Amino acid sequence: MIAFAFRQSIIQGKGDYKGWLSFDVLEEKEEDQIKLMGMYSQKYNAVRVDETQMYIMDDAGEALIENYLERSN
Amino acid sequence: MSTKKTVKENDFNVEIGLKDGQEWSADKLTQTKKLIKELAAKRSPERLLKNEFLAIQYKMEEYAEANEKHITKSIPLETFLHEYLETLNISFRKFAIAIDMNDANLKKYITGERKFNPDLARKFGRFFHISPITWMKVYQLNDLIKLRTEKIEKRYDKYDFRKVAQVSSVHHAASSVKPSSATVTVRGASAKRQK
């Protein structure tokens, strides 16, 4: 889903927003939230902004698409 | 007692999005916009070009992979090519020369006057760093859309096996001969033998 959302940011984003995806990680338990953010950071190269917000841009997003939305071409 | 209907309704009662159901505050939005601006300013010219290229590539891929039946309006190859050329700020003529083509001749391939082919797809693919398969798929998809949406021309009405083969003879032959031998009685051939 993150890879798909990032691809949309590339296709539809304008100017500075092209190739930029931001999202909030919200879990009921704070420890789960921290774990999940750590996982997104490690696995998807997402960057943490504050307690909940993260972003993915350019190379990291492109790699996500290659890994998760790869086509047969 | 929970009916099936109630269970279904409960299944849909799942909150997606922010816990409190609110959008970002004005302050957070401002901070995020500021951050985007700062990060975008650090992008190299190569990265900016890459993003523009990726946008066209992903659009082409989405289009090429789409179900032909769900597309109401085709996107010609020409459109994608012009997007690339516009991004690179080069003319059609310059592009044609770069891939060893005459621009007038290339125009014929792009507009459908001549068949777009694997050789051209490879040239396009190498030039724009995108799979030649994607170029071919876009072209073929447009052919399929054309096939579905164009009105059937009367001139094709003459092509009908019933005008050539006697259906009853074909059926009889198929049921009486060994599977390895294909026997089709054709009116012309049959008439010739009778003479």
The DSSP element (H or E) to which A47 belongs, if any, is strand A47-48
What gap in Å lies between CA B135 and CA B80, rounded to an integer? 9
Mean pLDDT, to the nearest integer, of B171-194? 51
Spatial CA neighbour of B88 closest among B115, B125, B49: B49
| B154 HSE (CA, 13 A, CB side) | 0
Candidate from A28-37, A56-65, B15-24, B101-110 with smallest mean pLDDT: B15-24
Closest C-alpha among B126, B89, B92 to residue B109: B92
Distance from CA of A43 to the nearest CA of B (A): 21
B64 burial level (CB within 10 Å; 0-12, 13-18, 19+): buried
Task: Give the whole-angstrom CA distance, residue A67 versus residue B20.
Answer: 33
Q: What are phi and psi of B108, to 5 degrees?
A: -65, -35
Residue A40 CA to residue A69 CA, distance in Å, equals 17
Q: What is the pLDDT of residue B17?
A: 56
B39/A18 touch (CB, cutoff 8 Å), yes or no = no
Q: Write the residue in B18, B39, B137 that is nearest to A57 by C-beta.
A: B39
Kindly determine whether residue A18 and residue B65, on different chains, have CB atoms separated by under 8 Å: no
Answer yes or no: is pLDDT of B31 > 80: yes
Q: What is the DSSP letter of A72?
A: -
Residue B76 pLDDT level (bands cut at 50, 70, 90)? very high
The whole-angstrom separation of Cα B130 and Cα B124 is 8
A60 touches chain B (CB under 8 A): no
Do A55 and B35 count as a contact with CB atoms less than 8 A apart? yes
Residues of A in contact with B131 (CB under 8 A): 73
For the cut 60, the answer to whether the pLDDT of residue B15 exceeds it is no
- The chain B residues in contact with chain A (CB within 8 A) are 18-19, 28, 32, 35-37, 39-40, 43, 47, 50-52, 54-55, 58-59, 61-62, 65, 131, 133-134, 137
Check B59 against A11: CB less than 8 A apart. yes
Average pLDDT over residues B102-117: 93
Cβ atoms of B174 and B103 closer than 8 Å: no
B124 contacts B99 by C-beta, under 8 angstroms: yes
Higher pLDDT, B121 or A26: B121
| Residues of B in Cβ contact (< 8 Å) with A72 | 133
Average pLDDT over residues B39-60: 95
Q: Spell out the residues 6+ positions from residue A50 whose beta carbon is closer than 8 angstroms to its own.
A: none
Choose the closest CB to A10 out of B35, B55, B65.
Answer: B55
Q: How far apart are CA B178 and CA A41, in angstroms?
A: 68
Question: A21-71, pLDDT tens digit by residue?
Answer: 998 988 888 899 999 999 999 999 999 998 889 999 999 999 999 998 876
Closest-CA distance, A45 to chain B, in angstroms, reads 15
pLDDT at B39 over 60: yes
